Amino acid sequence: MYREHFGLNESPFRITPVTVFFFSGANRGEILDALIYSLNAAEGIIKVSGEVGSGKTMICRMLLERLPKDIETIYLANPSLTRDELLYAVADALGLALEGERVGIIMQRIQDKLEEKASQGKRIVVLVDEAHAMPLDTLEELRLLYNLQADNYKLLQIILFGQPELNNKLNQPNMRQLKDRIVHHFHMQPLSRNNLENYLMFRMRAAGYRGPDIFSPAAIKLIAEASSGLMRRVNILADKSLLAAFVEDNYSIEARHVQAAMRDSELKSGSILSGRRIFIVGLIATLLLSSVWWIPHKLPSLPEVKSVTPIPEKLTTEATASVPVAAVVVAAPVPVAATVPVAATVPVAATVPVAAPVPVAAPVPVNITAVVPPPVEPEKSLTVKKPVKLSLYNQRIEAGKQLLEQKKAVASIQLFHNDRIDQKRMEGFLRRANQLGKLSQIYLFPAKYGTQDGLRVVYGAYPSAEAAHSALKDLPKRYKGTFKVSVYVFE
């Protein structure tokens, strides 16, 4: 539905394992290489574990494609086999018709066939998917198959793919013989946030997308939290986010699109507090509550302030004092008459009788002169015009104009071009370029595509086309792997 909207040849986030969408980041490529090396160089059973949706089946499919021609594979996709059914499945894969034969006969025929394959320079590998769901008796039968050997080498190699529950099975006492034969163990790590961003755009490019990065940082953060880095969940959320953006006729994926996908998928943000964080937050709350109790109990009590009737504005009392004000020690608040009768024509300097003398260290009558300062006119607000800061988009447009006007550069490396201008999307691309420290190398040039106003995005400025060609090898890996780059000669 949204493929034409985003210029895609196929859906980029299918949950069915398709090898063209294999992502080698987040230790996937390393595991695949290690598996191939282990099958070529070592004996023993190999185990690959990972959470639900972490990409184990994809690794298994990739292994089927990448193994050397001298290695033949037996792929067991159904783990819920009995011991006898397992033997029949292996025999069928080897081209043996043994239905109805006794177990002893089946094992002997399988060994004979494996020895025949070995004499032809062939090796057999059994790939068991979803091995965590395999019954214990069937796992034990796998061990017996692995024990088949001729001279000093094993006739069969086995790789188990399973969820972490497989480790629990192998830790049981009756499984220790099988566990001891596992010589390599690989674990599929969840996608980190950085790997997730690369993964999303890798899948988009593999599906035919040729524009700038479309997932905003906020959207990537939400997908990372809700998916816990598991590829299947990432695919589901990304697919539905694209659909939500398509419905809005939007070409960038924002947080609101991911939130809509989360609601539709009934997935919540993974930002729920862990047990340790809950403990820390609880401890902080306890300390705060304790401090609330401690403050009124520990701080000295302040003297009670009695209400004092304010002196009317513009009223000044004049009196003489035989003791300087700085030397007055007030023993009690000064009582002031509740009402001060003032005639309408009272001059500004009017004497107001004090209701009671101020008690001091010595009984000295004191009159207090309250002087109200003249009103200060409020400062006039000054309007300061701040310099207008150009957006990253306009900065790089200006940089492109200056580059053409100076006529010092002849060619550049074109990253991509669009037949429409989407400034918001370009701002996101330029922010990421700034984070990489490559913003100064990005230039934007308005371009015409028929009657449509478009945009050309290039990297670097070079004195010749040959220099631009030579610079391709130094292009940042992120751009080299994401865009279909080419040399662009300025007109």
CATH of the domain at 467: 3.30.70
Q: How far apart are CA 360 and CA 324, in angstroms?
A: 12
Instruction: Return the structure tokens found at 245.
Output: 């953006």
Instruction: Return the structure tokens found at 417.
Output: 């071009």
Q: How far apart are CA 52 and CA 77, in angstroms?
A: 16
Q: How far apart are CA 156 and CA 127, in angstroms?
A: 11
pLDDT of the residue at 374? 53
Q: The domain containing residue 287 runs over which residues?
A: 191-292
Q: Is residue 377 part of a domain?
A: no
pLDDT band for position 486 (cuts 50, 70, 90): confident
pLDDT of the residue at 269? 59
Q: What are the φ/ψ torsions at residue 126 (nearest 5 degrees)?
A: -100, 120
> How much is the average pLDDT of 323-343?
41
Last residue within a domain, chosen from 292, 323, 356:
292
My answer on whether 111 and 142 are in the same domain is: yes
Q: Which of 339-353, 410-424, 449-463 has the lowest mean pLDDT?
A: 339-353
Sole residue written with tokens 């990739």: 62
My answer on whether 179 and 217 are in the same domain is: no
Q: How far apart are CA 131 and CA 162, in angstroms?
A: 5
Q: What is the 3-state secondary structure (H, E, C) of the chain?
A: CCHHHHCCCCCCCCCCCCHHHCCCCCCHHHHHHHHHHHHHHCCCEEEEECCCCCCHHHHHHHHHHHCCCCEEEEEECCCCCCHHHHHHHHHHHCCCCCCCCCHHHHHHHHHHHHHHHHHCCCEEEEEECCHHHCCHHHHHHHHHHHCCEECCEECEEEEEEECCHHHHHHCCHHHHHHHHCEEEEEECCCCCHHHHHHHHHHHHHHCCCCCCCCECHHHHHHHHHHHCCCHHHHHHHHHHHHHHHHHCCCCCECHHHHHHHHHHHCCCCCCCCCHHHHHHHHHHHHHHHHHHHHHHHHCCCCCCCCCCCCCCCCCECCCCCCCCHHHCCCCCCCCCCCCCCCCCCCCCECCCCCCCCCCCCCCCCCCCCCCCCCCCCCCCCCCCCCCCCCCHHHHHHHHHHHHHHHCCCCEEEEEEEECCCCHHHHHHHHHHHHHCCCHHHEEEEEEEECCEEEEEEEEEEECCHHHHHHHHHHCCHHHHHHCCCEEEECC
Q: What is the pLDDT of residues 87-104, one digit of tens each?
A: 999 999 999 988 778 888
| Predicted confidence (pLDDT) at residue 272 exceeds the cutoff of 60 | no
My answer on whether 179 and 207 are in the same domain is: no
CATH of the domain at 250: 1.10.8.60
My answer on whether 42 and 63 are in the same domain is: yes
My answer on whether 196 and 175 are in the same domain is: no
Q: What is the pLDDT of residues 248-265, one digit of tens each?
A: 999 999 999 999 999 998
pLDDT band for position 232 (cuts 50, 70, 90): very high
Q: Is residue 167 part of a domain?
A: yes
Q: Is residue 351 part of a domain?
A: no
My answer on whether 54 and 168 are in the same domain is: yes
Q: What is the pLDDT of residues 372-385, one digit of tens each?
A: 455 545 444 444 45
Rounded to the nearest 10 degrees, the angle between the axes of helix 83-93 and helix 136-146 is 40
Instruction: Return the structure tokens found at 134.
Output: 């395999």
Rounded to a whole number of angstroms, the CA Rg of the chain reads 40
| Predicted confidence (pLDDT) at residue 289 exceeds the cutoff of 50 | no
Judging by beta carbons within 10 Å of its beta carbon (0-12, 13-18, 19+), is residue 171 exposed, middle or buried? Answer: exposed
pLDDT band for position 351 (cuts 50, 70, 90): very low
Q: What is the pLDDT of residues 55-88, one digit of tens each?
A: 999 999 999 999 988 899 999 988 899 999 999 9
Q: Is residue 327 part of a domain?
A: no
| Total count of domains within the chain | 3
| Predicted confidence (pLDDT) at residue 27 exceeds the cutoff of 70 | yes
Neighbour tally for 479: CB within 10 Å: 18
Instruction: Return the structure tokens found at 402.
Output: 């200056």
Q: How many residues are present in the chain?
A: 491
| Predicted confidence (pLDDT) at residue 294 exceeds the cutoff of 80 | no
pLDDT of the residue at 171? 94
Q: What is the pLDDT of residues 117-174, one digit of tens each?
A: 999 999 999 999 999 999 999 999 999 999 998 877 889 999 999 999 999 999 999 9
pLDDT of the residue at 481? 67
| Predicted confidence (pLDDT) at residue 273 exceeds the cutoff of 50 | no
CATH of the domain at 122: 3.40.50.300
Q: Is residue 352 part of a domain?
A: no
My answer on whether 180 and 196 are in the same domain is: no
Sole residue written with tokens 């992502």: 23
pLDDT band for position 220 (cuts 50, 70, 90): very high
pLDDT of the residue at 293? 40
Q: How far apart are CA 127 and CA 74, in angstroms?
A: 6
Q: Within 13 Å and on the Cβ side, how many CA atoms surround 378?
A: 3
Q: Is residue 304 part of a domain?
A: no
Instruction: Return the structure tokens found at 322.
Output: 């035989």
My answer on whether 51 and 177 are in the same domain is: yes
Q: Is residue 142 part of a domain?
A: yes
Sole residue written with tokens 């009159």: 367
Q: What is the pLDDT of residues 423-477, one digit of tens each?
A: 887 888 898 888 888 999 999 999 876 777 888 999 999 988 888 888 988 898 8
pLDDT band for position 108 (cuts 50, 70, 90): very high
Last residue within a domain, chosen from 187, 203, 228:
187
Q: Is residue 301 part of a domain?
A: no
> How much is the average pLDDT of 303-327?
42
My answer on whether 61 and 177 are in the same domain is: yes
Instruction: Return the structure tokens found at 195.
Output: 């790997």
My answer on whether 237 and 100 are in the same domain is: no
My answer on whether 176 and 216 are in the same domain is: no
Computed from CA positions of residues 8, 13, 15, 16, in that sequence, does the dihedral angle turn out positive or negative? Answer: positive
pLDDT of the residue at 448? 79
Last residue within a domain, chosen from 187, 222, 251:
187
Average pLDDT score over the chain: 79
My answer on whether 155 and 284 are in the same domain is: no
Q: What are the φ/ψ torsions at residue 318 (nearest 5 degrees)?
A: -120, 135
